[in-house]
Amino acid sequence: MRVIVTGGCGFIGSAVCRHAVNDLGWSVLNIDALTYAANPANVAGLAASGRYEFLEANVCDLPAMTAAFERFAPDAVIHLAAESHVDRSITGSAAFIQTNVVGTHSLLEAARSWWTSLDDAGRAFRFVHVSTDEVYGSLGESGLFTETTAYDPRSPYSASKAASDHLVRAWFETYGLPTLITNCSNNYGPYHFPEKLIPLVILNALEGKPLPVYGNGANVRDWLYVDDHARGIASALLKGKPGEKYNFGGRAERRNLDVVHAICDVLDEAAPTATPHRDLITFVADRPGHDQRYAIDSSKAERELGWRQSVSFEEGLQQTVRWYLDNEAWWRPLRDGVYSGDRLGLVARGV
């Protein structure tokens, strides 16, 4: 299997690259523009396999994408390249429209050109588009997102991802391009850029800084260990049906405040300090348009793909905290030179 992975130096993309090369024996071309959240260290060592290549390029560059397809001759594409942080989208939406919408359009067109050039044997080609549960909007106290839940995005980020999902679906319906869409719940695990909740709280706690919790911390998210998600994406590629969607969730709904409490408790054992880490918790002004609850129904992926979540939230959180404790050489340059943990997305509604 020869697979192009876009955004393969990012958090989820690098997990997909590692799984594809190390576990499945696939040949991978990782295409990444190396924006702020990408890190070549996430895929260090893969080149030694002889089955991994890297191309620094932007998915918005259609000629570059077309040339990459023609040179690498992929059997499939896994499209993960995206701007993904909601807070950044609030104050800088243009980058999200460009990468998530225009970039997806460029990649679809490059893939369509390649696919239509293939003979009958090459018609097994697949285009897997990796999206998010945030396109579905916000749930009340009950219910789960399914593959047929109506879209209701609430942030510039989720709106841009919803637009990209619609493009992918349209290229299947209009041109017959064999596309699949996956939507996932919140991922966590090693190599996570420290602007997102779990790595931010871990690193702030290690440095004795305040642990910011939006609003009253009652917003609920479903948490999925990143390696389980990488397995799910691969299973969608191998076993999924073109034109279909598959949701991947961790069956681990937690209030944000409970997640922060859990991190503090793990750190109290693994890296104890004079006072409990919970003492660092600080409640801050809520994010504009903050969705109340996300929860994924993964039964279709379990039934049709044979996928199962294998890592519990408690086990995954222990592994994640331990990884950050053991890998300061990875995160210290990011904290010192890229993002120190300052609050993002500070724009009041109506302004």
User: 326: part of which helix (H) or strand (E)?
Assistant: helix 313-326
Measure the CA–CA gap between 148 and 145, rounded to whole angstroms: 8
User: Out of 83, 133, 165, 291, which one is annotated catalytic?
Assistant: 133
Measure the CA–CA gap between 221 and 250, rounded to whole angstroms: 10
Question: What one-character DSSP code corresponds to residue 97?
Answer: I
To the query of whether residue 157 is one of the catalytic residues in this protein, the response is: yes
**Which residues does 285 contact at the CB level (< 8 Å), separation at least 6?**
214, 215, 346
Structure tokens at 19: 């799984």
Terminal Cα distance for the chain, rounded: 50
Place of tokens 């690193």: 203
User: Out of 136, 157, 214, 324, which one is annotated catalytic?
Assistant: 157
H runs (alpha helix) in 176-310: 197-206, 226-239, 256-270, 299-305
To the query of whether residue 314 is one of the catalytic residues in this protein, the response is: no
User: 29: part of which helix (H) or strand (E)?
Assistant: strand 27-32
CA angle centred on 325, ends 320 and 330, rounded to 5°: 90
To the query of whether residue 134 is one of the catalytic residues in this protein, the response is: yes
Measure the CA–CA gap between 34 and 40, rounded to whole angstroms: 8
- Residue 78 pairs in a beta bridge with 5, 128
Q: How far is CA 114 from CA 20, 91, 130, 283, in A?
A: 22, 37, 20, 51
User: Out of 83, 87, 134, 253, which one is annotated catalytic?
Assistant: 134
Active centre residues (catalytic): 133-134, 157
